[in-house]
A = this chain, B = another copy of it.
């Protein structure tokens, strides 16, 4: 079968050039006689791969020198606990913004370690918008302010960096990192799983400002301790070496594509097209406020939910895969991360129009 267009929310589509490169190098990385996945993580070959990967990320995101860049495990879910465990620093409260399923999970986990003050929530509106910044009630005594820059399930994305009222700003950027320009210097911590815009699953990128490193109490597990991980260059335990390598290949691909600014333009174009097709249709609709619709995850419902099964079946037959919405919300969802070519979005739009005509 030919390669399909895969709209999975993550793990998700990768650039074909990355897969081809990995395939070519599988049994013998650049004359080393080894696969990357067989290399000692302390050996010269892998150390070079790791260094290039880290430097490429620093370059692509223009990460300032006063940040540590860590490559950890356990996904965003691990960070939900690691963040309060590392940076409460004796304080007893933390501020969270609730804009969807992932914010909600972060809030729940943080509640094990501190009092969570939800400074704003769009839950009443079924997570279809972002509460106006001026209404956020930030507690200046809190340890930090946490938000989720893109809600993968609800399709809600921040287009501006919120004001944190002097608190360190902590952001779960799992599903839109590297899809748009970000001023890293405005954040205390940025974290993201790799499985959407950066590679396969199995690595969590954590970018943490130096003053937030070294605050964890001794009871925190060593692998959860930012200071210990930073001291050992994220090799406190054996890192997921092959995943680092693949992340590196994706970063090299992104650089060759023109970097974050270039991919952002393409992402805007892809998303605009698809929202336009949805808005102009009488069969499809998207419930999210227009000023915070996600460029990455585009949920939509069919006017007649009885058609859902047929839609998914026909889409699959047309090489358009994994379009079912998350089980918690139903309907459809098209995840169109960096690696989804514009041709994939075009094919989806064409299919949707054809399906609408025939039903």
Interface residues of chain A, those whose CB is within 8 Å of chain B, are: 1-4, 6, 8-14, 16, 19-20, 22-23, 26-28, 31-35, 37-41, 43, 73-78, 80-82, 85, 109, 112-113, 193, 195, 199-202, 218-219, 221-224, 236-243, 246, 319, 321-322
Contacts and interface: CB of A to CB of B under 8 A. Distances in A.
Contact of A27 (B19, B28, B39, B195): B19
A238 B10 contact: yes
A40 to B, nearest CB: 4
* Chain A to chain B: the 8 pairs with minimum beta-carbon distance, closest first: A202-B240, A75-B237, A81-B221, A4-B33, A77-B237, A73-B73, A37-B200, A23-B26
B241 A243 contact: no
Given A11-B241, A43-B8, A43-B322, A1 B77 contact: no
Contact of A75 (B10, B43, B218, B223): B223
A206 to B, nearest CB: 14
B238 A41 contact: no
Given A109-B222, A236-B77, A12 B38 contact: yes
Nearest to A27: B19
B109 A221 contact: yes
B26 A112 contact: no
A76 B237 contact: yes
A73 B201 CA distance: 11
B202 A237 contact: no
A182 B201 CA distance: 31
A19 B82 CA distance: 35
A353 to B, nearest CB: 23
Contact of A240 (B22, B39, B240): B240
A39 B75 CA distance: 17
A11 B202 contact: no
A357 B39 CA distance: 30
A32 B2 CA distance: 9
Contact of A38 (B2, B6, B39, B221): B6
Contacts of A9: 40
B34 A3 contact: yes
Instruction: Point out which of A3, A37, A40, A199 has the most chain B C-beta atoms below 10 A from its C-beta.
Output: A37
Contacts of A78: 73, 221, 223, 237
Contacts of A27: 3, 16, 19-20, 23
A32 B319 CA distance: 10
Contacts of A35: 14, 19
Nearest to A21: B26
Contact of A243 (B80, B81, B242): B242
Contacts of A12: 38, 40
Contact of A81 (B81, B222, B242): B222
